[in-house]
A and B are shown apart, each in its own frame.
Chain A
Amino acid sequence: MEVKLLSEHYGDDNFKTLEGYKVKGGYEVLPKALKMKPEEIIAEVKASGLRGRGGAGFPTGVKWGFLPNNGETRYLLCNADEGEPCTFKDRMMMEKAPHQLIEGMIISAFAINSPKSYIYIRGEYTYAAKVVEKAIKEAYDAGYLGKNILGSGFDHDMDIYRGAGAYICGEETGMISSLEGKKGQPKLKPPFPAVQGYLKKPTIVNNVETLAAVKYIIRDGADSYKKHGTEKSAGTKLFSVAGDVNKPGNYEVPLGYPLLDLINNECGGIKEGRALKAAIPGGTSAPIITAEEIEKATLDYECLAEMGTMLGSGSIVVMDDTRCMVDMMKVISHFYHHESCGQCTPCREGTGWLHKLVSSVIDGTASVSDIDLLCEVANKMKGRTICALSDAAALPVLGIVPKFREEFEFFIKEGYSKVKGRANA
């Protein structure tokens, strides 16, 4: 069953304006939060068990706790560079409920005592950027942003920054480089952004959904938030479901919800009554799971990790039995080849190599031993680079290829796709 916290008013077209937002109880949590002590907010967020919704799933309150107490200016960055293929939850939030994000951000900024925040919006999200920009202006005009917010003495400024279309700028240090006006390339860690981030100042980077959720945690209290979800994966989560389902879209369900239920109930089952073949549960960076595995899968960090995959950004790609996995692999590996920033050698060279190896299967120039090479290259790219893009490129290979090896072997031996047949080769 859907539990709507963040997406409750998505259907209300007026909700994106300040007026419409206030009708539904908007900016009622902010005065309450501003009367709390910042430490209390952090403690509440910690107690809620909220984990980063961008993909890594790192506990948000713990991340905030890493900020050093050295008196330096702190920055809050909202990661709205939603680049993971098939993910569109943040986009919808910004387009439908921008004030919800802004309110969450002001509360978070107050909690970490940051005078300035930026929302780094993916370059392609033109409309979302317009809506958020307008909402920020409304918030300024209403006194929710700027100097002495609601008479609390807390000052906060907020701006948007638009990306230029690079997936890597969704990686937090890549985003910081980009925001600093440099080429969007991840930085070496340590130092971590919480210690030395934007302009070498302590910086917290959080996902859109995470920051918006902060508002609901403060509104209802940590205990109420924790009622949703499982013990280790608390709260609700937005899932972007795409692919061969009857009703693709964003669905908010409590963590721990069975994946098969989401596909069959909320999404209306597989298109045209075909059979479910596989699904990628957390964006294309996550390893694929087969139909049998889907039956046992629940949507929480722990269950999916146990299955060797991950919850990631929460974008689910559902595939029916007409999907050729070799094609799928090529599309995915092309993406990472195109998006590698080119800094670390294993990723720069490896992503291209993977793409070429998969392409050679389709071109008919590969031999069966290339399948093992494909897996080996992917294995050697894992965990050896500055950021996780190399892993993101390697993991889908390590998921798809072993699980659907016979499709690859068939393609190499016969020269056409096992699924699509000779006619569609």
Chain B
Amino acid sequence: MLKCTINGKEVEVNEGTSIIEAFKSLDEDIAHYCWHPGLSVAGVCRLCMVEIEGNPRLQIACNTLVTDGMVISNQSEMVKDAVKWGLDFHLINHPLDCPICDQAGECGLQDQYMKFGQYDSEMGQQKVKKKKVVDLGDKIVLDSERCILCSRCVRFTEEVSKTNELGIFNRGDHSEIGTYAGKPLNNDYAVNTVDICPVGALTSKDFRFRQRVWFLKDKPSVCTGCSTGCSVDVYFNQEGLWRVKPRYSEVNGYWMCDEGRKIYKSTNVMNTEFVGVRGEKKAVKVQNRLTQAIHRKDNEVDYFLTSKALENLREDLKSVDKAALVLTGQYTNEEYEALLSYWKSQFKGENVFHWTNHEENWNDFDGLLIRGDKNPNTKGLQSSLEKHGISVEKDFSKLTQLTHVFVAGPENQWVYDDINTKVDIFAKAQKVIWFSAGLVPVSEDLIGNFLFIPTKTFAEKSGTFVNFEGKEQSFEMVESFVSQALSLTEIVSVLQGDSLTWHKPEQVERVHNEFVHERGTM
């Protein structure tokens, strides 16, 4: 261990710790753009200047290792002056188009300006003009004028995704980020470059111009995209979720895959889709969620309140003694526990089926984060089944011999590409009780007796997932978006005769347009 003093505070750090890491461990303020804990040191933004006792020259904190007894400060006038001018140099050719910039509100430059700047520009000359809209690929757009050339995105494609699409082209103040010929930035982790971009240079096509970030709140959660279970932050307002970003944890480091970022779509009642060819694209709102209970018998459709539908079902089930249960690995431990206990007492724990996405691919792993098992809680389901001594059936043809079939369907329906065939199989049962967050794709002419009960998505409930390596990860409810949706636990309690306790008022309190400041990307 090494002892050093940072801004008058003594701290002990491990050998090999850089000064900037020591600052971070103390939660001391230090400005920086190019340094990122998940990437190599570039040392180019020159903002993390510190004064080290006995050294006449300022040093950059990111490339200087702490030595024993070092006395470091970034409070001196010399450092403040260097940081102020560092910011000036960043800003002289920056377009300062914050009002139309998507990064406004979470921009490193804005944060620094509020801290150190708040004066008029000293640049009286023409700024360098660069390209404002550069299409880097299917997911990302670059604004070269806003770019401060911190090289985080370049280093990400070199070191993390190892796909090397990006480079810095040209020289001096004409330098620009770009992709190599024939190599668009379309790798599976590309949107991480948007997250780590400290300014509004890289923006995600999926999110840009959709929301002002200061009107969004964020809460921590766990990704439901696959069995890795990355820690994420979800950004939301009263309309729904708008984006998902990775949050540092031992599971996923600083990153997440682009596919995982889609999970917010399964929560929203309405999703916007863009249809048509380029130039004539139109935004169309498409309903995504099941908002109330639906009874659909052949062509007749009836709508119910969830509580009413469940009470009817309870009466109905009194005469049923044999039924099947189809489970997917997309629910929480708590829900499995409630459902399987109920199943054990009501139906002796028999006829339980496990519906999976391509099981033959479950061991697939891309070496970074993406796994073939696209369910967040397969492990949790398996241990719950084991605990109750329930063995699962895989042969779905046995289903049709049973009168009632309960389906705890997938929340992220896009990973279950056999959903249409499964609907056809289930339709042959006397009655299908389908718990689903999203609308289930049932064709209009299908003959069958379906009762759809709306369930909550990961964002609307609290619970626990167990990831591929058996790590239990609990998450909290973010916000309720469909008032009629229930968790499986709540559904079971109604089926067992309890009355439904709705959320307490404080839990469904709406998000106010509260200004979220200094979210930053530092």
- Interface set of A (CB-CB < 8 Å, partner B): 166, 183, 188, 190, 337-346, 348-353, 356-357, 359-360, 365, 370, 373, 380-381, 383-386
Given the complex of chains A and B, what is the CA–CA distance between A188 and B40 in angstroms? 11
Q: Is the CB of B46 within 8 A of A345?
A: yes
Q: Is the CB of B149 within 8 A of A348?
A: yes
How far apart are B88's CB and chain A's nearest CB, in angstroms? Answer: 8
**Chain A: CB-nearest residue to B148:** A345
Given the complex of chains A and B, what is the CA–CA distance between A238 and B170 in angstroms? 34
9 smallest CB-CB distances across A and B, nearest first, come from A342-B175, A356-B125, A340-B172, A380-B85, A352-B173, A349-B89, A188-B43, A342-B172, A345-B89
- Given the known inter-chain contacts A188-B43, A353-B125, A384-B82, please indicate yes or no for A341 contacting B171, CB distance below 8 A: yes
Q: 5 A-B pairs, CB-CB below 8 angstroms?
A: A183-B167, A188-B42, A341-B172, A342-B168, A386-B44
Given the complex of chains A and B, what is the CA–CA distance between A190 and B41 in angstroms? 12
Within 8 A of A (CB), among B68-125: 81-82, 85-86, 88-90, 92-93, 122-125
Q: Is the CB of A373 within 8 A of B122?
A: yes
Q: Is the CB of B57 within 8 A of A383?
A: yes
CB contacts (< 8 Å) of B57 on chain A: these are 383
Given the complex of chains A and B, what is the CA–CA distance between A386 and B88 in angstroms? 18
Q: Is the CB of A183 within 8 A of B173?
A: no
Given the complex of chains A and B, what is the CA–CA distance between A8 and B172 in angstroms? 41
Known: A340-B171, A341-B172, A386-B44. 6 other contacts (CB 8 A): A342-B173, A349-B92, A356-B126, A370-B124, A380-B81, A380-B88
**Chain B: CB-nearest residue to A359:** B125
**Chain A: CB-nearest residue to B173:** A352
Q: Is the CB of A348 within 8 A of B125?
A: no
Within 8 A of A (CB), among B246-300: none
Given the complex of chains A and B, what is the CA–CA distance between A370 and B122 in angstroms? 10
Q: Is the CB of B86 within 8 A of A346?
A: yes
Given the complex of chains A and B, what is the CA–CA distance between A351 and B173 in angstroms? 8
Q: Is the CB of B49 within 8 A of A384?
A: yes
Set B43, B86, B171: member contacting A342, Cβ < 8 A:
B171
CB contacts (< 8 Å) of A345 on chain B: these are 44-47, 86, 89-90, 148-149
Given the complex of chains A and B, what is the CA–CA distance between A217 and B174 in angstroms? 45
How far apart are A5's CB and chain B's nearest CB, in angstroms? Answer: 36
Given the complex of chains A and B, what is the CA–CA distance between A371 and B89 in angstroms? 18
Q: Is the CB of B58 within 8 A of A384?
A: yes
Set B126, B168, B173: member contacting A349, Cβ < 8 A:
B173
Q: Is the CB of B125 within 8 A of A360?
A: yes
Given the complex of chains A and B, what is the CA–CA distance between A71 and B27 in angstroms? 42
- Output the residue of A345, A349, A373, A380 with the most chain B CB within 10 A: A345
Set A346, A353, A357, A370: member contacting B46, Cβ < 8 A:
A346
Within 8 A of A (CB), among B111-153: 122-126, 128, 148-149
CB contacts (< 8 Å) of B82 on chain A: these are 380, 384
Given the complex of chains A and B, what is the CA–CA distance between A385 and B63 in angstroms? 12
Given the complex of chains A and B, what is the CA–CA distance between A310 and B220 in angstroms? 58
Q: Is the CB of A353 within 8 A of B44?
A: no
CB contacts (< 8 Å) of A353 on chain B: these are 89, 92, 123, 125
CB contacts (< 8 Å) of B63 on chain A: these are 188, 190
Set A190, A348, A360, A365: member contacting B172, Cβ < 8 A:
A348
Q: Is the CB of B46 within 8 A of A344?
A: yes
How far apart are A344's CB and chain B's nearest CB, in angstroms? Answer: 5
- Interface set of B (CB-CB < 8 Å, partner A): 41-47, 49, 57-58, 63, 81-82, 85-86, 88-90, 92-93, 122-126, 128, 148-149, 167-168, 170-175
- Output the residue of B42, B46, B82, B171 with the most chain A CB within 10 A: B171
**Chain B: CB-nearest residue to A341:** B171
Given the complex of chains A and B, what is the CA–CA distance between A188 and B92 in angstroms? 25
CB contacts (< 8 Å) of A337 on chain B: these are 172-173
CB contacts (< 8 Å) of B46 on chain A: these are 344-346, 384-385
Given the complex of chains A and B, what is the CA–CA distance between A340 and B42 in angstroms? 17
CB contacts (< 8 Å) of B41 on chain A: these are 188
How far apart are A168's CB and chain B's nearest CB, in angstroms? Answer: 8
**Chain B: CB-nearest residue to A184:** B171
Which label, helix, strand, loop or mixed, suits the secondary structure of the A interface?
helix
CB contacts (< 8 Å) of A381 on chain B: these are 89
Q: Is the CB of B89 within 8 A of A338?
A: no
CB contacts (< 8 Å) of B90 on chain A: these are 345, 349
Given the complex of chains A and B, what is the CA–CA distance between A357 and B126 in angstroms? 10
CB contacts (< 8 Å) of A385 on chain B: these are 46
Q: Is the CB of A352 within 8 A of B93?
A: yes
CB contacts (< 8 Å) of B85 on chain A: these are 346, 380, 384
CB contacts (< 8 Å) of A370 on chain B: these are 124
CB contacts (< 8 Å) of A360 on chain B: these are 124-125
Q: Is the CB of B172 within 8 A of A351?
A: yes
CB contacts (< 8 Å) of A188 on chain B: these are 41-43, 63
Given the complex of chains A and B, what is the CA–CA distance between A345 and B44 in angstroms? 6
Set A166, A339, A344, A380: member contacting B44, Cβ < 8 A:
A344
Given the complex of chains A and B, what is the CA–CA distance between A149 and B396 in angstroms? 81
Given the complex of chains A and B, what is the CA–CA distance between A73 and B397 in angstroms? 69
Set A338, A350, A357, A386: member contacting B125, Cβ < 8 A:
A357
Given the complex of chains A and B, what is the CA–CA distance between A190 and B175 in angstroms? 25
CB contacts (< 8 Å) of A340 on chain B: these are 171-173
Q: Is the CB of B168 within 8 A of A183?
A: yes
CB contacts (< 8 Å) of A384 on chain B: these are 46, 49, 58, 82, 85-86
Given the complex of chains A and B, what is the CA–CA distance between A1 and B82 in angstroms? 47
Given the complex of chains A and B, what is the CA–CA distance between A356 and B93 in angstroms? 12
Given the complex of chains A and B, what is the CA–CA distance between A351 and B172 in angstroms? 8
CB contacts (< 8 Å) of A344 on chain B: these are 43-46
Q: Is the CB of A350 within 8 A of B44?
A: no
Q: Is the CB of A386 within 8 A of B124?
A: no
Set B58, B89, B128: member contacting A350, Cβ < 8 A:
B89
Given the complex of chains A and B, what is the CA–CA distance between A381 and B81 in angstroms? 12
Q: Is the CB of B175 within 8 A of A348?
A: yes
How far apart are B262's CB and chain A's nearest CB, in angstroms? Answer: 36
CB contacts (< 8 Å) of B89 on chain A: these are 345-346, 348-350, 353, 380-381
**Chain A: CB-nearest residue to B85:** A380
CB contacts (< 8 Å) of B172 on chain A: these are 337-342, 348, 351-352
CB contacts (< 8 Å) of A356 on chain B: these are 125-126
Q: Is the CB of B43 within 8 A of A352?
A: no
Given the complex of chains A and B, what is the CA–CA distance between A390 and B47 in angstroms? 15
How far apart are A399's CB and chain B's nearest CB, in angstroms? Answer: 20
CB contacts (< 8 Å) of A346 on chain B: these are 46, 85-86, 89
Set B42, B128, B149, B170: member contacting A352, Cβ < 8 A:
B128
**Chain A: CB-nearest residue to B62:** A188
- Output the residue of B92, B124, B173 with the most chain A CB within 10 A: B173
Given the complex of chains A and B, what is the CA–CA distance between A346 and B173 in angstroms? 10
**Chain A: CB-nearest residue to B64:** A190
Given the complex of chains A and B, what is the CA–CA distance between A340 and B170 in angstroms? 10
Given the complex of chains A and B, what is the CA–CA distance between A341 and B168 in angstroms? 11
CB contacts (< 8 Å) of B167 on chain A: these are 183
Given the complex of chains A and B, what is the CA–CA distance between A183 and B149 in angstroms? 15
CB contacts (< 8 Å) of B93 on chain A: these are 349, 352
Given the complex of chains A and B, what is the CA–CA distance between A381 and B125 in angstroms? 18
